[in-house]
Copies of this chain bind each other. A is one copy, B any other.
Amino acid sequence: MKEVFVDGVGMTKFGKFPNKTLVDLMAEAASLAIKDSNSQDVQAIFIGAQNPEEFTGEANIAAALADKLELTGIPASRIETASSSGASVIEAAFYAVASGRFERVLVVAGEKMTHLPTPKVTKILAEVIESYERNSGASMVALAAMVTQAYAHYAKLSHRKLEQVLCKIAVKNHKNGAKNPYAQFQKEIDDDTYFNSRIISYPLRLFDCAPITDGAAALVLTSHRTDVKISGMGHGTDTIAVRHRVHLHHFNAARIAAREAYKMANRSPSEIQFAEIHDAFTCFEIIGAEDLGLLDEGKGWRAVEKGYTEIDGKIPINPSGGLKARGHPVGASGLAQAVEIVWQMREKVAKERQIKRNDIAVLHSIGGMSNNNVVIIFEKPGTPHSTGFCFEREIVDAKKHKKDPIRVGREGILDAYTILTVVPEGFPSPLVLGLVSVPSGHRILARAVNPVTFRVGERVFLSKEEDTFYFMKASAMEKALFSLKKALRKVKLSMRWKLR
């Protein structure tokens, strides 16, 4: 393979831009990246976007952008891997340059979302969720909330401690965002702001979730040597359904991607000096850092507590403000992470948020509910190798995933649950969803009979009506009440039937 380097980079400010189209934003970022390059010549265009068709009503954006940039003639392709599209587009372009076919290609990613009402955006985003889980009322934040709970259980974090840690991440990323003129939110928040924000899907609050954003980012990749090299490229997938995974508290797809990236770069996590991690939800920042091997497994939260992930910490994470504060135009985020890494390495643009040790960095991007993840390693050419390849995280064999059971017994163990207050259309609020392990070794997604709080790891009773599983407290009283309700419903139904 030919070596691949980053030439110019550029991005639009992230935020709300009602008067600009997606192609306008992409063209703006692209022009900045080309202007920032050693040569204005590019031989192909690679575009990343999650869902321009439904967000903007416009398709065929690869050709549209080539036209807008007056680069009509050269190849233009779009790459899509849900929310990691901004990183996987770098991957596709990387191979095109590494093959020797092109010497210089333009890579652009963008999304335009803020012009739509939030429920519509949420609905479009939810299309990446496996259909049974989506039809059961699970939104992205609901699934993230359950992953967060599973992580807390694994790491033995009390609810109070979990909240403090998540708050710390949100506060840190807003602090970094305040130093980033390209960020959607350029103001710091304090603990009160975090704790006063409403619960969206317990235990996640509004300030645990990345916002809805417009924006685009771009870079030029080249086979000619520059001051930043892409040394490692990894990409991994996982089951589309969250319930089909062996572990809920980490992301197998990220670990596979990380292993491949470290292997190609002949590096180990200990050599990484800073990271841009996909914090679509605060807890994903810790899980991501653990998956990448940057923080100890189940103990990443301690590093957060101690401030190790701050700009001046041992291993700075998301100096840009992350998805939380820079904003999250879904298909653009991965590429915006790359732009931040390059800016940090060049020590010109980052200014107030400049990281001192900036020779090797890692980019971590999550696609969908973490089933299409990309990890990319950037380094300054010539940075010495202190370890060689080494990566010690457990990676589960995909074949071990159990799909849906034919029969489910009468009880199970609650692996995680969430109380949604913001529910998809057609569902009652609050809606309590749980992931329950059953004795056969399968895991099911179920709905709580009553909107009460549970304890992760507790035994629950199960029931099924039509296609929906229900779970309830494993107490005789609850069970009796549920049976009674069920019986009453049947009586009502049969009466209605007779009345016809």
Contacts and interface: CB of A to CB of B under 8 A. Distances in A.
A249 interface: no
A293 interface: no
A339 to B, nearest CB: 21
A384 interface: no
A70 B399 CA distance: 7
Contacts of A76: 81, 235, 237, 372
Contacts of A54: 53-54
A64 to B, nearest CB: 5
A372 B62 CA distance: 8
Interface stretch (A93-101, A279-287, A345-353): A93-101
B74 A237 contact: yes
Contacts of A241: 67
A364 to B, nearest CB: 15
A95 B235 CA distance: 16
A239 B73 CA distance: 8
A91 B70 contact: no
B127 A57 contact: yes
Contact of A398 (B72, B233, B239): B72
A121 interface: no
Copy count, this protein chain? 2
Interface string A79-100: 1111000001001100110111
B240 A401 contact: no
Contacts of A92: 77, 79, 92, 95-96
Contact of A236 (B75, B240, B252, B368): B75
8 contacts: A1-B101, A58-B131, A60-B82, A67-B240, A72-B239, A73-B397, A77-B88, A95-B96
A172 to B, nearest CB: 30
A254 to B, nearest CB: 12
A360 interface: no
A51 interface: yes
Interface string A359-376: 000000001100110000
